[in-house]
Structure 1
């Protein structure tokens, strides 16, 4: 960091980006906001249903990379994995030799995907453990604990410092690969919600539960081959998360399907098949899920 009060930017102030921006703003570290949609401010509602605690983060949200005033100390990149190339002009304008880019995205390939766009800075992947979504009125709702996991690398230090004392807890893990693949398995099986068009209650169907466990079993084998230290009970524990009442839990890939947007199938699901092939591990369920998600996302038809 170049100062005790770092210059921070959030690129992509959607649900996850707004949540992190609000945490920074509450701590007196209001970030610059950059995205596709111009807004005067972004707003977060926190707490369970019925709660009305709100945090308003002043903008504006700038939409032109040419308007960037200069490089910053820290960038939180919160665009979807399908939008990384579109965000490249922002990264070029915001990143200098000392800039750290914390990638708030799904998947286990953030560094490889974002790294080529940050030749002068450092990229730190993050596991995002909290749900957040944008309501019809444009306000983002984060109903529970806000937490990130980062790898135990020197470049994680500025991220930890920026979020210290905020509502966003940060864990630094020496076994980041395990945390990343644990979350990847959860995201991958959530793809069944996008294929069925149903929320989490669909996993209470015995046939869907059996399919989910078969899919998670393949993913577990691939994760272990990648170095993740995950126990045999992980598939069952992930399934139980989706099966617990009230059954109305959503997922961003389902939201994107409902909105007709491209799906993050490659980073959430395709990676299981790709890495399985690299390790010689058969993944027939994964291959079928990936084919259907790709067709759902990209067509034709």
Structure 2
């Protein structure tokens, strides 16, 4: 029997997951802040409409489910707490589709003892002005090796969202964090991926990534010296107009995930006695871009 599933946060990531589930007949409950009749996912080879409505009242959540995909940003976890309270039971798994390496400590206080499962999200999906989501590649999740992961694997079996399990999840999570961290430069320039074609930006990015890499290794990640170059080369290979969620939030004047994506590096660096001079410059600028004042 298929597990009962809810998606909390029908943005770019949540819509992609909901569409993948709906496409194979496992339509989840959709929970969010804004009432909508349906969700829409489209791309070069896909167009899926997920029937709603989007539930906006946690009191009408419908009871506990087997699996919650929590697809809100780290800045929105506290606001999503009523949904977690309404949807979580003792056996619920909460799969956190969120940036960073601190999902468990961030989300666990709101799940009433339900199991929290971090995930690394590889979704080239972008929210569009009309509320639809554009998918620009194959969606993929990486999960830690453990019993809770089997609930997610079962839910997503046979869908367009591929899922793999990593024995060394720490290394995978920190590698993705490095990618997210350097994407923060796009906020400070107001530019998309094409900016990484500049030699000066590439050099700054490499220096920043090497700083992040030192902290990642101190945290237990096994990542080689080649990783900074691979990440910069990846940005250079993307379409020049490829954006990122933190840039979209900046353009829309929404709070930024600066602490989750960038602030974690100097915080963890201090704990290990590792200097982070580039972070010490970038993080206050990102924080000010997010939170002001001014």
Q: TM-score range by the shorter chain?
A: over 0.9
Deviation, structure 1 residue 245? 5.5
Return the alpha-carbon distance in structure 1 between the equivalents of residues 106 and 129 of structure 2: 31
Q: Is 1:222 paired with 2:229?
A: no
Deviation, structure 1 residue 207? 1.7
Number of equivalent positions = 294
How far does the alpha carbon of each residue in 1:158-192 deviate from its partner, in whole angstroms, 9 at most, with x for none? 00100011000001111000100000000000000
Match of 1:38 among 31, 35, 39: 35
Match of 1:253 among 241, 246, 256: 246
RMSD: 0.9
How far does the alpha carbon of each residue in 1:25-76 deviate from its partner, in whole angstroms, 9 at most, with x for none? 11111100000010111111133xxx5x311111110111111121111000
Q: Is 1:72 paired with 2:53?
A: no
Return the alpha-carbon distance in structure 1 between the equivalents of residues 292 and 130 of structure 2: 30
How far does the alpha carbon of each residue in 1:79-129 deviate from its partner, in whole angstroms, 9 at most, with x for none? 011000000000000000000000000000000100111122100000001
Query: In the alignment, what sits opposite 2:165?
Result: 172
Per mean C-alpha deviation after superposition, the further-off stretch among 157-166 and 197-206 is 197-206
Distance 1:112 1:245, change over 3 A: closer
Question: What 5-or-longer segments of structure 2 have no aligned partner?
Answer: none
**Large movers: runs of 4+ above 4 Å:** none
Match of 2:286 among 269, 293, 297: 293
How far does the alpha carbon of each residue in 1:238-296 deviate from its partner, in whole angstroms, 9 at most, with x for none? 01111225422211111110010011000000001110001110000011110100011
Q: Is 1:193 paired with 2:186?
A: yes
Deviation, structure 1 residue 134? 1.5
Match of 1:22 among 16, 19, 22: 19
Provide the TM-score with structure 2 as the length reference: 0.98
Find the residue that maps to 2:184 and give its secondary structure: helix
Deviation, structure 1 residue 23? 0.7
Q: Is 1:13 paired with 2:10?
A: yes
Provide the TM-score with structure 1 as the length reference: 0.96
Distance 1:245 1:102, change over 3 A: closer
